[in-house]
Amino acid sequence: GQQLNQSPQSMFIQEGEDVSMNCTSSSIFNTWLWYKQDPGEGPVLLIALYKAGELTSNGRLTAQFGITRKDSFLNISASIPSDVGIYFCAGQLDFYNQGGKLIFGQGTELSVKP
């Protein structure tokens, strides 16, 4: 089946540093989404991207939908301790041909040292 390659798998950074993570796939997606999962909780949607080339910001977060529609990245600027968690990318398949299912990356576990 379709797979997303998310990297890095984990990151250990100092508070105040910037963070960058990305997802790539051999499949084309109509939508890219980025989720954050706090420890022991369900993932929460951070950013949704709907158009190839789209660059969207949400506070300190910036995400881009790759031009080829096969990749996306997420940047977090000036990290703070509450950024700790697991970040998942997800690509959405075409609804009419493939049911609109989300395919998730393996996650990037972020640790922030105060």
Partner 1 sequence: DGGITQSPKYLFRKEGQNVTLSCEQNLNHDAMYWYRQDPGQGLRLIYYSQIVNDFQKGDIAEGYSVSREKKESFPLTVTSAQKNPTAFYLCASSTITGGDGYTFGSGTRLTVV
What are the residues binding partner 1 (CB under 8 A)?
Answer: 1, 6, 31, 33, 35, 40-45, 48, 88, 90, 92, 95, 99-102, 104-107, 109
Q: 61 vs 90, which CB is nearer to partner 1?
A: 90
Of the pair 20, 30, the CB lying nearest partner 1 is at: 30
For 63, the token pair is 């995400």
Q: How many residues make up the chain in this entry?
A: 114
Q: Least Å distance between CB 34 and partner 1?
A: 9
Q: With respect to partner 1, which residue has the nearer C-beta, 6 or 79?
A: 6
Burial class of residue 112, CB neighbours in 10 A (0-12, 13-18, 19+): buried
Smallest distance from the beta carbon of 92 to partner 1, in angstroms?
A: 6
- Tell me the DSSP string of 33-97: EEEEE-TTS--EEEEEE-STT-EEEETTEEEEE-TTSSEEEEEE-S--GGG-EEEEEEEEPPHHH
Contact assessment for residue 74 and residue 20, using Cβ atoms and an 8 Å cutoff:
yes
Minimum CB distance to partner 1 smaller for 9 or for 78: 9
Name the minimum Å distance from CB 103 to partner 1: 9
Q: In whole angstroms, how close is the CB of 33 to partner 1 at the nearest point? A: 5
